Amino acid sequence: MSDKQKMNVESFNLDHTLVKAPYLRLADKKIGENGDEIYKYDLRVCQPNKEHMEMPALHSLEHLMAELSRNHSELVLDIGPMGCQTGFYVSLINEPSYEAALDLIENTLKDVLVATEVPACNEVQCGWAASHSLEGAKEVAKGLLDKRDEWTQVFA
- Answer yes or no: is 155 within a domain: no
- Answer yes or no: is 60 within a domain: yes
Nearest to 114 by CA among 143, 137, 148, 90: 137
- Answer yes or no: is 92 within a domain: yes
What residue numbers bound the domain in which 50 lies? 14-148
pLDDT, tens digit, for every residue of 28-78? 999 999 999 999 999 999 999 999 999 999 999 999 999 999 999 999 999
CATH code of 25's domain: 3.30.1360.80
pLDDT band with cut points at 50, 70 and 90 for residue 4: confident
Q: What is the mean pLDDT of the chain?
A: 97
- Looking at the structure of the chain, the number of domains it has is 1
pLDDT tops 60 at residue 1 = no
